[in-house]
Chains A and B, each alone.
Chain A
Amino acid sequence: MKKNLKLILKTFIFLILLLICFFAVVIIVERKESYIKNKNFFEQAKEDHIDVLFLGSSHVINGINPVTLYRDYGITSYNLGGHGSVLQATYWELIEALDYCKPDYVVVDSYMLEKNYQYLDVMEENAGEDDINTSVEQLHLNMDAFPLNKLKVAAIKDLIQDKDIQNQFLFDFIVYHDRWEELSKEDFGVLNNKIDLNTLMGGEIRYEVENELEEYVQAGEDEILAEHTVGCEYLMKIIDECQRDGIGILVTTLPFKETYDDQLAAHTAASISADYGVTYFNMNDLGVIDEEADLNDPGHLNVTGSEKTTDYIGQWLRNNTDLADHRGDSEYSDWDSAVESYNSELYEQMKGQSNLESFLNVLNHDSVSCVVYVNMGSDAFIDEGVKHLIKNLSGTERIDEAAAAGGSYILIRDIASGNRYEAVNGESLESVSTSMGEVTYIPIEEKFRLFYRDEDPDTNYLYSDEHLYSDIQIITYDNENGEILSQVYFTSEGETYISE
Chain B
Amino acid sequence: MQFISLTFIVFFVAVCLLYYVCPQKFRYIWLLFASYTFYLSINVYYVLILIISTLSTYICGRMISGKEKVSEKRTPLIMCIVFNVLILGVFKYTNFFISSAFGVAGLFGFNGEFNALNIILPVGISFYMFQALGYIIDVYNGKIEAEKNFALYALFVSFFPQIMSGPIERAGNMLPQFKKSAGFKYENMRDGLLLMMWGYFMKMVLADRMAVVVATVYDSYDKYYGTVTLVASILYTFEIYCDFAGYSNIAIGAAKVMGYNLMQNFESPYLSGSISGFWRRWHVSLSSWFRDYLYIPLGGNRRGTPRKYLNTMIVFAVSGLWHGANWTFVVWGLLHGFYQIMGSVLMPLRNKIVSILKIDRKAFSHKLIKIICTFMLVNIAWVFFRADTFKQAFDMIGHMFIMKPWVLSDGTLYNLGLDRPNFLLMIMGLIVLIVVDICNTKDIYIRDKIKKQGIWLRWGIYIAAVLFIITCGVWGPGYDSASFIYSQF
Interface residue? A219 (CB, 8 A): no
Distance A7 CA – B187 CA, assembled complex (angstroms): 11
Give the secondary structure class of B's interface.
Answer: helix
Inter-chain contacts of A164 with B (CB < 8 A): 477
A29 touches B476 (CB 8 A): no
Interface residue? B470 (CB, 8 A): yes
Interface residue? B176 (CB, 8 A): no
Of residues 144 through 180 on chain A, the ones whose CB sits less than 8 Å from some CB of chain B are 164-165, 168, 173-175, 177-178, 180
Report A356 CB to chain B, min CB distance, Å: 36
Of residues 192 through 216 on chain A, the ones whose CB sits less than 8 Å from some CB of chain B are none
B476 touches A175 (CB 8 A): yes
Distance A175 CA – B476 CA, assembled complex (angstroms): 6
A174 touches B421 (CB 8 A): no
B471 touches A29 (CB 8 A): yes
B476 touches A180 (CB 8 A): no
Inter-chain contacts of A173 with B (CB < 8 A): 470
Report A19 CB to chain B, min CB distance, Å: 10
Inter-chain contacts of A25 with B (CB < 8 A): 467, 470-471
Report A313 CB to chain B, min CB distance, Å: 39
Partner of B466 from the list A7, A18, A165 (CB cut-off 8 Å) is: A18
Inter-chain contacts of B463 with A (CB < 8 A): 17-18, 21
B471 touches A177 (CB 8 A): yes
A180-B472 in contact given A17-B463, A22-B467 (Cβ < 8 Å): yes
Interface residue? A12 (CB, 8 A): no
Of residues 453 through 471 on chain B, the ones whose CB sits less than 8 Å from some CB of chain A are 459, 462-463, 466-467, 470-471
Interface residue? B72 (CB, 8 A): no
Inter-chain contacts of B475 with A (CB < 8 A): 174, 177
Report B88 CB to chain A, min CB distance, Å: 33
Interface residue? A456 (CB, 8 A): no
Interface residue? A469 (CB, 8 A): no
Interface residue? B2 (CB, 8 A): no
A181 touches B422 (CB 8 A): yes
Report A16 CB to chain B, min CB distance, Å: 11
Most buried by A among B470, B471, B476: B471
Partner of B459 from the list A7, A14, A175, A181 (CB cut-off 8 Å) is: A14
CB nearest neighbor in A for B424: A181
Distance A424 CA – B422 CA, assembled complex (angstroms): 60
A181-B421 in contact given A18-B463, A29-B471 (Cβ < 8 Å): yes
Distance A7 CA – B470 CA, assembled complex (angstroms): 26
B477 touches A174 (CB 8 A): yes
A177 touches B421 (CB 8 A): no
A177-B186 in contact given A18-B466, A22-B467 (Cβ < 8 Å): no
Distance A478 CA – B115 CA, assembled complex (angstroms): 81
Interface residue? B480 (CB, 8 A): no
Of residues 434 through 489 on chain B, the ones whose CB sits less than 8 Å from some CB of chain A are 459, 462-463, 466-467, 470-473, 475-477
CB nearest neighbor in A for B472: A180
Report B400 CB to chain A, min CB distance, Å: 29
Distance A174 CA – B425 CA, assembled complex (angstroms): 20
CB nearest neighbor in B for A177: B471
Inter-chain contacts of B473 with A (CB < 8 A): 177
CB nearest neighbor in A for B189: A11
- The 4 lowest CB-CB distance pairs between A and B, nearest first, are A181-B421, A174-B476, A177-B471, A180-B471
Q: Which residues of A contact B (CB under 8 A)?
A: 7, 14, 17-18, 21-22, 25, 29, 164-165, 168, 173-175, 177-178, 180-181
A-B contact pairs, 28 of them (CB 8 A): A14-B462, A17-B459, A17-B463, A18-B462, A18-B463, A18-B466, A21-B463, A21-B467, A22-B467, A22-B470, A25-B467, A25-B470, A29-B471, A164-B477, A165-B477, A168-B476, A168-B477, A173-B470, A174-B476, A174-B477, A177-B470, A177-B476, A178-B476, A180-B471, A181-B419, A181-B421, A181-B422, A181-B425
Q: A17-B463, A168-B477 are in contact. List 20 more A-B contacts (CB 8 A).
A: A14-B462, A18-B463, A18-B466, A21-B463, A21-B467, A25-B467, A25-B470, A25-B471, A29-B471, A165-B477, A173-B470, A174-B477, A175-B476, A175-B477, A177-B473, A177-B475, A177-B476, A180-B472, A181-B419, A181-B425
